[in-house]
Amino acid sequence: IIIITTVVFFIMELWEKSQTSGYFIKNTIEFLLEHGALYAPKLLEGEWYRIITYLFLHSGIEHLMNNMMVLYFLGNALEHCVGKVGYLSTYFFSGIVAAIGSVLYNTEYPVCVGASGAIFGVIGAMLWIVLKNRGTLQGISKRRMMFFVFLSVYSGFTSQGIDNAAHITGLVAGFLFSVSADHGHRYPASESGRLRPHKQPDRFHCLHFQCRPRAFRRRPERELSVFLSAFQTDSESGDAAWQARD
C-alpha cells in the first residue's frame, strides 16, 4: 500500500505539472477533485469509485510522508498479527466507512483526500488486539496505545483542514472490524520473548515469521513500540480537507 500510494502521488505530481504551472509537490484542489478526490456531489452523480481512490491521493509531500510513516509502523505490526488478508481487509473497510462518515457528517461538502481514515482503522484494530492480549503485546502496552489514539484524535481537532469525521469513523470501523473478525486471539510469548502463534490460528493469522531464519526475523511489534515511544504531539497524520469551489 505504501509503495502504491507513493507512486500514485508522484505520478499525479508529474501529471499536474505537465498540464499546469502550479507548484511542484503540492496538488491543487481542482486537480485532485478531477482525479478521484472524495466529494459528496460527485458521489451522488454515481462516481462511487471515489470512496477508494481518495485513499491514494494526498495534498502534498508532507501530508504523504506523515501518513506513510504512521502506516509503516502500524501496518507492519497489524499485518504481522493478522496476516495480509486481515490487514488489507481492515485497511480498505475502514477507509470506505471513513469516507461514508465524512460525507454524512460534513454538510458543507469539503473535498477530501488522504489515507488517514484507513490508517485510523488500523490504529483501532491494533488497539483491540492489545486489549485482547491483556493490555500488552511485545512492548506495546494498553496505556501507550490508548495515549497514541488520544493524541492522534486530539491533533485532528487542534489542526486546520482536518477531516475529523473520517478519522473517528475510521477508528471505530477498524476496531469493530477487528472484533468481528476475531483478530484478537492471544499471542503467548516464548522464553525468548518472541511471539508464538497458537497451534490452530484463525484464517487471518500470518505465520510467515516462523519460516524466516532467526537472524532475519523482523519484529514489527517492537518497531511499533519504539515508534509509539517517540511519538510527538506535533506530528500530523490527518486527511486534508478543503472547501470545494464550484
Report how far apart the first and last C-alpha atoms of the chain are (Å, whole number). 32
CB count within 10 Å of CB 154 equals 11
* 210 burial type by CB count under 10 A (0-12 exposed, 13-18 middle, 19+ buried): exposed
21 to each of 25, 29, 63, 200, 228, how far by Cα in Å? 12, 14, 21, 58, 40
Active site residue 141: no
CA distance 152 to 132: 21
Mapping DSSP to helix (H, G, I), strand (E, B) and coil, where does residue 55 land? Answer: helix
Question: Which of 63, 167, 183, 205 is flagged as catalytic?
Answer: 167
Question: Which of 59, 89, 102, 116 is flagged as catalytic?
Answer: 116
DSSP for 83-116, written as a single string: HHHHHHHHHHHHHHHHHHHHHHH-TT-EEEE-SH
Active site residue 205: no
Catalytic residues: 116, 167
